[in-house]
Structure 1
Amino acid sequence: MTNLFFLILFVPILAAILLALNVLLAPHRPDESKVSAYECGFPAIVGQTRSTFQIHFMVVALLFLIFDLEIILLFPVAVTLYQVSTYGFAIAILFFIVLTIGFVLEIGSGAIKLSNLDTRPKTNNKQQTKT
């Protein structure tokens, strides 16, 4: 029996056993807050410490992750620059140009525009008087 066959056979069986144990042993006490739809516009649960956040932060995080991983791909080229010859250097420059174009388009589309995202109207506590 090969290792790959053992892995293909063992992992699904182990996953099924663990899922079955979870269904059998986990407590099942649903209440209104557990079965209600999540993030659907209902007011927050009393005493809940979560607060709303802008989806902009998630977009920035995903874009950072993508560009960070692409920059990490340039590290092996930098380390082996003397061994990759002119062809390898040209491919690395081409990759860097495509990465730069993507970053410029990202900035141009406003995906990473950092600004005040608070959309609530500003209130002024001072009363304005006509003079």
Structure 2
Amino acid sequence: MLMIFSMSLILMSLSSLIMSLTSLISKKTFSDREKNSPFECGFDPKMSARTPFSLHFFLIAVIFLIFDVEITLLFPILILMKTLNVLQFFMLMLFFIIILLVGVYHEWNQGALTWAK
């Protein structure tokens, strides 16, 4: 146990040292107007590149990604059909789907799924 602790301490300190050294070495302090301006095929941009982004659209996209990943987690459960009996399989599926439904209900209750306000 002591060997695992000492090795993890050595690895963490070594990685912290390497990360701090690389951040100190790689700092570039020069910046000018041309490098900070958006690049549009060699021409000056016609409008501002800093247009406001819809935060609500971003939240909907994140919710979609979360539930999309959770749906992909359902596929390995199909492999468990061979090893589990029917009752265990349905209990596992029911538990997972209830977690998904509780998440959807929470997002709906918080108003994250209402598009028009």
- Which bin holds the TM-score, normalised by the shorter protein? 0.5 to 0.7
- 1:9 deviates by 1.4
- Give the equivalent residue in structure 2 for 1:111: 112
Distance (Å, rounded) in 2 between the aligned partners of 1:72 and 1:49: 35
Alignment gaps of 5+ in structure 1 = 32-45, 118-131
Normalised to the residue count of structure 2, the TM-score between the two structures is: 0.59
Alignment gaps of 5+ in structure 2 = 33-43
Residues 1:16 and 2:17 are matched in the alignment: yes
How many residue pairs get aligned? The number is 101
- Give the equivalent residue in structure 2 for 1:83: 83
Q: What percentage of residue pairs aligned between the two structures are identical? A: 26
Distance (Å, rounded) in 1 between the aligned partners of 2:22 and 2:83: 54
- 1:99 deviates by 1.5
Residues 1:57 and 2:73 are matched in the alignment: no
- 1:6 deviates by 3.8
Normalised to the residue count of structure 1, the TM-score between the two structures is: 0.54
- 1:53 deviates by 0.2
Distance (Å, rounded) in 1 between the aligned partners of 2:59 and 2:29: 35
Say which structure is richer in helix: 2
Distance (Å, rounded) in 2 between the aligned partners of 1:24 and 1:82: 55
- CA deviations on 1:8-44 (whole Å, 9 max, x unpaired) are 413432332332343245232478xxxxxxxxxxxxx
SS in 2 for 1:28: coil
**CA root-mean-square deviation:** 3.3
